[in-house]
Amino acid sequence: MSNHNSQQATTTTAIKLVAVVVGMFGFGFALVPLYDLICDVTGLNGKTGEQYTQASEQVVDEARVVKIQFLANNNAGMSWEFRPVVRTMEVRPGELNETNFFVSNPSKNAITAQAVPSVTPFRAAQYLHKTECFCFERQELQAGESMDMPLRFIIDASLPIEVTTLTLSYTIFDITDQLAAN
Amino acid sequence: MSAVIEQHHDDHHHGPAKGLMRWVFTTNHKDIGTLYLWFSFAMFLLGGSFALVIRAELFQPGLQIVQPEFFNQMTTMHGLIMVFGAVMPAFVGLANWLVPMMIGAPDMALPRMNNYSFWILPFAFTMLASTLFMEGGAPNFGWTFYAPLSTEFGPPSTTFFIFAVHLMGISSIMGSINVVVTILNLRAPGMTLMKMPLFVWTWLITAYLLIAVMPVLAGVVTMMLMDIHFGTAFFNAGGGGDPVLFQHVFWFFGHPEVYIMILPAFGVVSAIIPTFARKRLFGYASMVYATASIAFLSFIVWAHHMFTVGMPLAGELYFMYATMLIAVPTGVKVFNWVATMWQGSMTFETPMLFAIAFVVLFTIGGLSGLMLAIAPADFQYHDTYFVVAHFHYVLVPGSVFSIMAAVYYWIPKWTGNMYDEKLGKVHFWLSFVGINVLFFPQHFIGLAGMPRRVPDYALQFADYNMISTAGAFLFGFSQLLFMFIVVKCVFGGKKATAQVWEGAHGLEWTIPSPAPYHTFTTPPKVDMSEAHG
């Protein structure tokens, strides 16, 4: 084994390994969009999709009633009052429904908030279509201000028959500082 | 590379440079191996002293010695220092000493990088340990540093923790590249892959695992850094991120990481048992394939650490069965070790005692791992002391015992002196009794529902915690005896022969004891019958 050859082989192997290192560092970051994609496609993690645009009018399943429960939670340190105006609704799959969530800002500062939804059971998440949701954009309230935030949704008519109750939960986050930091 | 060039300069051949600078500038694999091993032992004592603070606090229910804030810093620092500072560098140290001697290479392939990869570590761990003296204290969110707990609620020193992890990662990656390059390119003529000693095989596979997952760890801490300082929201749900994402990315690194800490141990035990059973290793090829299978499976089972995050049923089932599959190659290994001992003419010198204890106690840890793999049962065991007992059984009488076995087994080759056999046996029995008294009761309190990472607990757990603490102090202070034995052996003792052990086979036993500063500057001829000891 001549020195020249073994040195060259060493360098070649080392370069290949460095390429693997760089690739795996990138893969770590690629896991982020990959994770979101998998959650979107499968509805895992209770994530509901983006704004729904109806391709065609759904046939309302008059024979079936699905109960939907609304939950509102504040993330740690969030001072707003946040609650659903009605706690449960009984809806028919395929029909367009509307409800409101009430928020008020009791603090002395303007606060920007972001609501994050989650649906249980998880496998029902992809059958809950939202045509309008306050969670699609940030909400801002001045000190002492309050409002009703609208939510319009359709339960897909192809919702599996064994699902009779859905829970749609929102957690509201104070993102004022985060926005300021950006 | 420079080792190869050194052959042309005879003045470099005479031995090490003198004084402290020898250690700072050294590119010699034996010097660097020694540095790694001493560094790792220092970290073992530091991390161990943190463990004793934890156990002292848990001696009785209620808060006696430390406050919960400091207790949390102790659990975090104990875990980080033991994983990244004690166990991993010890195996890298063993690799440095042994891999070139076992494959008949003059040195590691990239000696200068070898020097860098060691000397990064003292800086990384000084930075990590210095967080204890910072305002707000050291990281207090557990060694798993789950975000957003660590990013939003962690102390300001979290940033230093992140940089320390970056440095450790760079060090491990450089070390692993060196190991792979050395093994693939510098084997003596005739040393084919399937003739390599199993320690070399396990390290080759471990190095690949490190190269694959340490960058992912670097990625996840970089995301944390960006969340903390640059306004991104990888793990903050309010900004569109996801806390569960952190766990997926972390455990994608974390599960291969636990095999990084055990595969070289398999290699050590596979070297020691044949020597003292005076038989060839049973099932060499199956050992190699089992190691490779374990390494492959380690990439596809990560979510068994997070059964309770709310995975769909299909996910729970997949990760449950995939995890249980790991028991198959592991079982092959345990079977082979036992079969190697079967009808051997066994003697029980200290390295063999540690190796046998490894086989027995690691198997106990493996079995409690199988229990944890049962997804429906895991909801009961999750985050209890049962988990603590499980991973300490595989890490302490697993990895740490194998490191001690390796030190006793090869130290005559390193120093040229035999260690004190009587004291070695005393050290073994104190450690063996201590470790079981320490961790076995934790199975029971875990099953009874005691959560991990708590400074205080309900009264019904008091008795077992007291026993556990007694074992911890016995085990901890026994390690001072280990240090004494090693130091005594460095400075004197019965002269060792080249072969050292009657039943030892392999290239490292063909060179004199102590191993000369430069070995195999001309590659040895590997005898076909000499294969893997």
Claim to verify: residue A24 and residue A55 sit in the same structural domain: no
Q: Is A38 on the interface with B (CB under 8 A)?
A: no
Q: What is the pLDDT of residues B350-378, one digit of tens each?
A: 999 999 999 999 999 999 999 999 999 99
Token couple for B107: 């040195």
Query: What phi and psi values does residue B190 have, to the nearest 5 degrees?
Result: 95, -15
Interface of B with A in 438-477 (CB under 8 A): none
Q: How many CB pairs under 8 A join A and B?
A: 112
Stretch B516-524: mean pLDDT: 91
* CA distance to partner chain B, nearest, from residue A86 (Å): 24
Claim to verify: residue A29 and residue A53 sit in the same structural domain: no
Q: Cβ contact (<8 Å) for B211 and A116?
A: no
Claim to verify: residue A148 and residue A104 sit in the same structural domain: yes
Please return the burial class of B440, using the count of CB atoms within 10 Å of its CB with bins 0-12, 13-18 and 19+: middle
**Is B504 within a domain?**
yes
What is the three-class DSSP state of B313? helix
Chain B CB contacts of A171 under 8 Å are 237
CATH number for the domain harbouring residue A93: 2.60.370.10
Q: Cβ contact (<8 Å) for B177 and A27?
A: no
Q: Cβ contact (<8 Å) for B239 and A175?
A: yes
The number of folded domains in chain B is 1
Q: Which residues of B are catalytic?
A: 78, 107, 143, 171-172, 255, 257, 259, 270, 304-305, 330, 333, 452
Claim to verify: residue A81 and residue A161 sit in the same structural domain: yes
Claim to verify: residue A37 and residue A95 sit in the same structural domain: no
Q: Cβ contact (<8 Å) for B215 and A9?
A: no
Domain of residue A68, residue span: 47-181
Token couple for B84: 């990244």
Q: Which of B184, B219, B238 is facing A175, going by the closest CB pair?
A: B238
Claim to verify: residue A74 and residue A129 sit in the same structural domain: yes
* Model confidence at B262: pLDDT above 70: yes
**Is B17 within a domain?**
no
Claim to verify: residue A107 and residue A60 sit in the same structural domain: yes
Rounded CA-CA distance A136/A149 in Å is 11
Claim to verify: residue A127 and residue A145 sit in the same structural domain: yes
* pLDDT of res. A124: 85
Claim to verify: residue A136 and residue A69 sit in the same structural domain: yes
Domain of residue B381, residue span: 25-530
CATH number for the domain harbouring residue B231: 1.20.210.10
Q: Which helix (H) or strand (E) holds B468?
A: helix B462-491
Strand partners, A115: A172
Residue of chain B minimizing CA distance to A124 = B312
Claim to verify: residue A159 and residue A115 sit in the same structural domain: yes
Q: Which helix (H) or strand (E) holds A114?
A: strand A111-120
* Model confidence at B65: pLDDT above 50: yes
Rounded CA-CA distance B423/A88 in Å is 73
Chain A CB contacts of B1 under 8 Å are 7, 10
Q: Which helix (H) or strand (E) holds B75?
A: helix B68-80
Q: What is the pLDDT of residues B297-349, one digit of tens each?
A: 999 999 999 999 888 888 899 999 999 999 999 999 999 999 999 999 999 99
- Which positions ≥6 away from A10 have C-beta within 8 Å? B1, B109, B110, B181, B185, B186
Give percent helix, percent strand, percent coil of chain B, each to the nearest 5.
70, 0, 25
**Is B5 within a domain?**
no
Q: Is A83 on the interface with B (CB under 8 A)?
A: no
* pLDDT of res. A76: 83
Query: What phi and psi values does residue B451 have, to the nearest 5 degrees?
Result: -70, 155
Q: Is A15 on the interface with B (CB under 8 A)?
A: no
The number of folded domains in chain A is 2
Claim to verify: residue A35 and residue A76 sit in the same structural domain: no
CA B323 vs CA B34, B316, B329: distances in Å: 36, 11, 12
* pLDDT of res. A60: 81
Tell me the average pLDDT of chain A. Answer: 86
- Specify whether the CB–CB gap between B222 and B228 falls below 8 A: no
* pLDDT of res. B326: 96
Rounded CA-CA distance B528/B530 in Å is 5
* Model confidence at B202: pLDDT above 70: yes
Q: Cβ contact (<8 Å) for A10 and B1?
A: yes
Claim to verify: residue A20 and residue A55 sit in the same structural domain: no
Q: Which of B181, B213, B315 is facing A14, going by the closest CB pair?
A: B181
